[in-house]
Amino acid sequence: MRELARHPTGLVGATLLAIVLVAVLFGPLIAPYDPQQFHPAERLRGPSAEHWLGTDQFGRDILSRILHGARATIMFGLGATFAGVAAGTLIGVAAGVAGRWIDSAIMRLLDGLLAVPDLLFTLLIVTVLGGGTGHAMLAVAVAFTPGMARIARAAVLSVRTREFVQAAQARGESPVYVIGAEVLPNTMGPVIVEATIRVSFAIMLGATLGFLGLGAQPPSTEWGLMIAEARQFMFRNPWCVAAPGVAIAVAALGFNLFGDALRDILDPRGRQR
List the interface residues with another protein, window 62-101 (CB under 8 A).
100-101
From residue 185, alpha-carbon distances to 3, 66, 181, 216 in Å are 21, 38, 6, 36
Task: Between 24 and 136, name the residue whose CB sits nearer to another protein.
Answer: 136
Considering only residues 114, 154, 157, 192, which one is a binding residue for another protein as defined by CB under 8 A? 114
| Residue 185 binding another protein, by CB under 8 A | yes
Q: How far is the CB of 218 from another protein (least distance, A)?
A: 4
With the C-alpha atoms ordered 206, 208, 213, 219, is the resulting torsion angle positive or negative? positive
Residues between 120 and 149 that touch another protein (CB under 8 A) = 120, 123-125, 127-132
Task: Between 28 and 132, name the residue whose CB sits nearer to another protein.
Answer: 132
Task: Between 82 and 263, name the residue whose CB sits nearer to another protein.
Answer: 263
At 107 the three-state DSSP class reads: helix
Task: Between 49 and 271, name the residue whose CB sits nearer to another protein.
Answer: 271
What distance in Å separates the CA atoms of residue 177 and residue 8, rounded to the nearest whole number?
Answer: 39
Rounded (10°) angle between helices 8-30 and 239-266: 130
3-state secondary structure 58-94: CCCEHHHHHHHHHHHHHHHHHHHHHHHHHHHHHHHHH
Distance separating the N- and C-terminal Cα atoms of the chain: 18
- CA 128 vs. chain centroid, Å, equals 22
| Residue 186 binding another protein, by CB under 8 A | yes
Task: Between 32 and 185, name the residue whose CB sits nearer to another protein.
Answer: 185
Task: Between 85 and 136, name the residue whose CB sits nearer to another protein.
Answer: 136
For residue 61, the cross-strand partners are 55
Considering only residues 21, 87, 157, 204, which one is a binding residue for another protein as defined by CB under 8 A? 204
Considering only residues 175, 213, 267, 270, which one is a binding residue for another protein as defined by CB under 8 A? 213
Which part of the chain contacts another protein (CB under 8 A), choosing from 24-32, 53-61, 62-70, 150-158? 53-61
Q: How far is the CB of 20 from another protein (least distance, A)?
A: 12
What distance in Å separates the CA atoms of residue 162 and residue 169, rounded to the nearest whole number?
Answer: 11
Residues between 216 and 235 that touch another protein (CB under 8 A) = 217-219, 224, 227-229, 231-235
Q: How far is the CB of 116 from another protein (least distance, A)?
A: 5
> Which residues does 234 contact at the CB level (< 8 Å), separation at least 6?
240, 241
| Residue 1 binding another protein, by CB under 8 A | no
| Residue 168 binding another protein, by CB under 8 A | yes
Residues between 16 and 35 that touch another protein (CB under 8 A) = none
Task: Between 49 and 268, name the residue whose CB sits nearer to another protein.
Answer: 268
> Which residues does 54 contact at the CB level (< 8 Å), separation at least 6?
44, 45, 46, 47, 48, 62, 237, 239, 240, 243
Q: How many residues bind another protein (CB under 8 A)?
A: 82
